[in-house]
């Protein structure tokens, strides 16, 4: 019986640690939380996404990139290493601030770890200057 109690304590501590890590990683990601899914789901406007860069859409858990002019991609913003939210796009890479994993902004693949799995892509569509789920 004491073994069960110990496991409960350990897993509770692990959850608290993860929550603390996520809170620490998610600092600054509080914008847009109340405005997600504006009727029909416009995620961003094309002009918001710089060519060769990208933008984190915190309220949707997405990062949208524009690797080449007119070519838009979207990926989960949840790092595949330990679940932190990526912070942005720098020098062609989507960057996780927690342990500095870098992901390719064109396909989400890992450029440098510790992450070993790519960021999952999210289908989007561009109509006019509006980017929405595809």
> Does 84 help bind ligand FES (rule: CB under 6 A)?
yes
Among 57, 74, 93, 96, interactor with ligand FES by CB under 6 A? 96
Query: What is the smallest separation between the CB atom of 89 and ligand FES, expressed in angstroms?
Result: 14
Interface map 33-72 toward ligand FES (x if CB under 6 A):
----------------------------------------
CB 104 within 8 A of CB 92: yes
User: What are the strands, taking DSSP E only, across the chain?
Assistant: 42-45, 53-57, 62-68, 71-76, 88-90, 93-95, 102-104, 110-112, 124-127, 130-133
- If you write DSSP's letter for every residue of 76-109 in order, what string do you get? E-B-TTT-PBP-EEETTEEE-TTT--EEETTT--
> Does 118 help bind ligand FES (rule: CB under 6 A)?
no
> Does 22 help bind ligand FES (rule: CB under 6 A)?
no
Task: Kindly determine how many residues on this chain lie close enough to bind ligand FES according to the rule CB under 6 A.
Answer: 11
Site of interaction with ligand FES (CB under 6 A): 79, 81-84, 96, 98-99, 101, 114-115
């Amino acid at each position: 019986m004491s073994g069960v109690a110990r496991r409960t304590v350990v897993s509770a501590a692990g959850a608290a640690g993860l929550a603390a890590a996520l809170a620490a990683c998610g600092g600054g990601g509080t914008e847009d939380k109340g405005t997600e899914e504006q009727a029909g789901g416009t995620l961003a406007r094309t002009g918001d996404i710089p060519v060769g860069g990208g933008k984190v859409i915190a309220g949707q858990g997405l990062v949208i990139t524009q690797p080449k002019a007119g070519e838009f991609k979207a990926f989960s913003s949840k790092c595949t290493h330990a679940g932190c939210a990526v912070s942005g796009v720098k020098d062609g890479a989507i960057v996780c601030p927690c342990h500095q994993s870098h992901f390719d902004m064109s396909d989400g693949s890992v450029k440098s770890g510790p992450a070993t799995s790519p960021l999952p892509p999210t289908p989007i569509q561009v109509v006019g200057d509006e980017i929405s789920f595809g």
